[in-house]
Amino acid sequence: MSGTLQYVPRALSTADSVVHLEYHPHQLAAVPGSDCTRFVCISDTHVQTFDIPDGDVLLHSGDLTNLGLLKEFEKVMEWIYQLPHKTKILIAGNHDLTLHEDWYQEEYHRWHRTAGKQERAKIVELLTGPRAREAGVVYLQDSSYTFRTKPEGRLWSVYGSPWSPWFHNWAFNYNREYGEALLSKFPATDILLTHGPPARILDRTQSLDFAGCADLRNHLPRLRPRLHVFGHIHESRGAHVHAWGPEDTNTKDTGKDGDGTQRLHETVFVNASNSPAGKGTWRVGQRVPAGGPGFQPVVVDLRD
């Protein structure tokens, strides 16, 4: 229809997961069964708001804002508070400047000369204070969290880290030579949230460079999360399912998850960027908005 953006439903499916990449906003397929948990994955929203499908858990992989301003956090958190997901897990990204405390103390004048130094305590309160807790918001910064989505159901573990390789000295940047020291501290977990992608997994830029972290890629055989969500490279938004095989080394395979159940040797990788970039920015002559077709929240159903 002229003037209406078209949706082309696309999904990936395995025995243990269904990944909805594109769907008609009001026609998303139901969760496959009562033994599944629905994760709704978003990233790089940059203060923009749009429709988010319901689900058990909302995962946000950073860049909630453009420049980490208090007024930006106030807007985006009001939006997140109102979302229906009972559990909402967030990390920061390189644009969320004020959340990188030590770095911001030294660098704020570069970014906020006009706006003035931001009241970081008020920003942290938005993410961790009473309203956040009441809304089910959990903010992770190099930290872990466990939760259940069903009474007596599976105990899920998640680890979140905001870091990405150095790029013009933004927040939470690390020099690549320090990547191993950082990544070696990541624990095995069911769900891994990072802002930046691993090397050569949904990390290709418009200039055809692979911007992901090689050290993160090298640690994946050890970590083997069920779900790894990231963003940062908007133009590589998408998903990939990797089945771990005997050729994947650098791991001590216990064969069990933390709750004692048999471990499934499959990782769903999701670049959940919602801000259009690259060849997907336009569709049939129309500019795609944030969260629009090709950049919708990625919905992942995992078998418990």
State which residues form the domain around 224. 37-303
Within-domain flag for 31: no
Report the pLDDT averaged over residues 32-45.
Answer: 98
Residue 3 has pLDDT above 80, yes or no: no
- Give the pLDDT score at 262: 44
- The span from the CA of 162 to the CA of 172, in Å, is 6
Neighbours of 24 (CB within 10 A): 12
Q: How confident is the model at residue 249 (pLDDT cuts 50, 70, 90)?
A: low
The DSSP secondary-structure symbol of 231 reads: -
Residue 279 has pLDDT above 50, yes or no: yes
* pLDDT, tens digit (0-9, with 9 covering 90-100), for 66-124: 999 999 999 999 999 999 999 999 999 999 999 999 999 999 999 999 999 999 999 99
Within-domain flag for 215: yes
The SS3 call for residue 72 is helix
Residue 285: give its domain's CATH number: 3.60.21.10
Within-domain flag for 110: yes
Residue 258 has pLDDT above 50, yes or no: no
- The span from the CA of 230 to the CA of 237, in Å, is 9
Q: How confident is the model at residue 140 (pLDDT cuts 50, 70, 90)?
A: very high
Question: How many CA within 13 A on the CB side of residue 201?
Answer: 26
Residue 264 has pLDDT above 60, yes or no: no
Burial label, 125 (beta-carbon count in 10 A; 0-12, 13-18, 19+):
middle
Contact 162, 93 (CB under 8 A): yes
- The span from the CA of 110 to the CA of 149, in Å, is 43
Residue 254 has pLDDT above 80, yes or no: no
The DSSP secondary-structure symbol of 281 reads: G
Residues 6+ apart with CB under 8 A from 54: 38, 40, 84, 85
- Rounded to two decimals, what is the model's pTM? 0.94
Within-domain flag for 289: yes
* pLDDT, tens digit (0-9, with 9 covering 90-100), for 198-227: 999 999 999 888 889 999 999 999 999 999
Cα-Cα-Cα-Cα dihedral sign, residues 240, 60, 19, 235? negative
Neighbours of 188 (CB within 10 A): 18
Q: Which residue has the tokens 């979140």?
A: 160
Q: How far is CA 171 from CA 62, 108, 166, 195, in A?
A: 11, 10, 9, 11
Within-domain flag for 22: no
Q: How many domains does the chain have?
A: 1
Within-domain flag for 116: yes
The closest alpha carbon to 66, from 170, 141, 158, belongs to 170
Contact 42, 273 (CB under 8 A): no
On average, the pLDDT of the chain sits at 93
The closest alpha carbon to 73, from 1, 30, 126, belongs to 126
Rg (CA), the chain: 19
Within-domain flag for 140: yes
Within-domain flag for 24: no
The SS3 call for residue 125 is helix
